[in-house]
Every structure is written in C-alpha cells, then in structure tokens.
Amino acid sequence: MSISKDQLVSEHVPDNFQKLDIWERAYETPDGCWELGYTYPQVNIKGKTYRLSRLISGAPKGLLVYFTCDNRRCFRPSHLFTRTHEEKHKLRMERFS
C-alpha cells in the first residue's frame, strides 16, 4: 500500500522531507512500517548520502536510531526514536530477555 500525503502530515514528516522523490516508491507494510524495499533506505541530497531513518528521526550526532518495530528498512517516524548507545542496549535487553 502506498503512503498518502495525509499519512505524511499525521506522522509529522517535515515539509522538506515530503519533497524528496522517494514517496512514489515508498509503501506501507502489513505491520505498519514504511519501506522502500531495501535495508537502510538512503537518499542523496546535494551529493551526500544519508540514511533516511536518521534524517526523519532527527537524530543528532552521538545518538543512535532505535527501531521500535525491529525493522531496519522502516523509516516511519512513529517507529523511530533516538537513544544513546547505553539506552538502546538496555531497551533491547529488556525486550528480548
């Protein structure tokens, strides 16, 4: 299923990201993830490659992106959180123990 403009707005995707040329290829999985079909979707902006999950989550340097859905192909904002390395490790240990 493709991702609608309304979904972008409801997920608080910033306007500048809504203008990227990825949205025609992006789709929603049955689990609610947004994917482009390959691990760690990337975009090229002004000659530099960025991981889409880092851009959309707004993760500053030093913080990691945590995928609550455990799907590295996902870039749906509500599935992404920024955490320190220690916080991410603790969360994963709690979820999988």
- Domain ranges, residue 41: 5-95
Residue 4: CB partners within 8 Å, gap ≥ 6?
none
What mean pLDDT comes out for the span 60-67? Answer: 88
Residue 21 — pLDDT band, cuts 50, 70, 90? confident
77 near 12, Cβ under 8 Å?
yes
Res. 8 pLDDT band, cuts 50 70 90: confident
Q: What is the mean pLDDT of residues 47-56?
A: 89
Residue type, 54: R
Structural element, H or E, at residue 80: strand 80-83
This prediction's pTM = 0.81
CATH code of the domain covering residue 83: 3.90.75
> Which pLDDT does position 80 carry in this prediction?
93
28 token code pair = 């929603």
> Is residue 78 scored above 90 in pLDDT?
yes
How many folded domains does the chain comprise?
Answer: 1
Compute the distance between CA of residue 78 and CA of residue 45 in angstroms, rounded to an integer.
23
